[in-house]
Amino acid sequence: MAAAPLAVVGDRLCTDLLDVTSDLSALDSQGFWAVVVPYDGAPVCARFGTVRPARPWRGARWHGPSPSSWSSSLDEKGFGLGVEEIRAAIAAGDVYQVNLTRVLSAPVEDLDDPHHDIAALGAALALGNPAPFSAVVRVPPAGVAIASASPERYLRRDGRRVASSPIKGTAATPDGFTPKDHAENIMIVDLVRNDLGRVCEYGSVSVPSLLAVEAHPGLHHLVSTVSGELRDDLGWPELIDATFPPGSVTGAPKIAACSIISRLEPASRGPYCGAIGWVDAGSRTGELNVAIRTFWIDEGRLCFGTGGGITWDSTATGEWAETQLKAARLLSVASGAAEPVP
């Protein structure tokens, strides 16, 4: 029997599902919503009737796939060829940067087993890889089973005030960032400034934080913040339409980057690189993450995405190693391994 719908978003536990819609305008109505906007596919907005502080997980402990069972949509050679194609596009002047990703997956044998409940995986991630924008959304009527340990804010809204905090730059140590990391971050900041400028009051867009170093489990990131004042006549649909997909997981210029992504990536990103979070429609507040460091269940397989931004200075070996670094700790948690999963 399918588990009851629930969401753990923004330190809140949401139960008693009232309705589900793909219409983002519902987020400007009333009620508390868990929100999933996939990179590929229709949005899922789930309104819950009971919202209370999240509590420690008391269900079954997560039992994940064996470390050896994971496969990748792109192997190292295929990923390297993609890096070189992107560098050729940069040399031709078509793009400045493209985010290239791959989807890892492993079979989950019995989805009715409570040990394979996505909420149990979310609890394991909260212990093994705590993240500031973590989320669990389980909505069986919409086919949604997602556990995210995202470190990145896509959008925060408080009334008319909106902000985005793109991550670009990953290193094992706080002094390990390269000039490429700094250039990449600043490039995406400019893209986010442009995106928010489409829906914010003229002159209100600013960058209150640039190239801040943040520590996360097993690695460090460069994080910047862009903010602005949303125009009075606009709401969540317009804000998401102007800024989605997040610039940190696409590239610049965004439309050209997305076209290259669709050509080079053999597997659908699904919810990966989309957005997950919550919206309190009545108070016009909400927060959505960038759905990286995110697991989802699709057709009996547990899936996980990893990738990085490719620029002219990228090397196939270096970019592959970055995807490994980003994935290792999370896969270890999902597989219950004592050591990082290669």
Query: Cα–Cα distance between 337 and 128 in angstroms, integer?
Result: 11
The answer to whether residue 254 is catalytic is no
The answer to whether residue 152 is catalytic is yes
Catalytic residue among 77, 85, 109, 152: 152
Reading phi first (left if > 0) and then psi (alpha if -120 to 50, else beta), residue 150 is in: beta
Beta strands in 187-338 (DSSP E): 206-216, 219-229, 251-252, 275-280, 285-290, 294-298, 301-310
Tokens standing for 92?
């031709």
DSSP helix, strand, coil percent of the chain (3-state; round to 5): 30, 35, 35
Catalytic residue among 85, 168, 254, 299: 168
Hey, which residues does 251 pair with through a beta bridge? 98
CA nearest to 133, candidates 282, 285, 278? 278
DSSP class of residue 206 equals E
With b for 16 or more beta-carbon neighbours within 10 A and e for fewer, the 24-43 pattern comes to bebbebebbbbbbbbbeeeb
* Contact yes or no for 208/162 (Cβ under 8 A): no
User: Which residues are the active-site residues?
Assistant: 152, 168
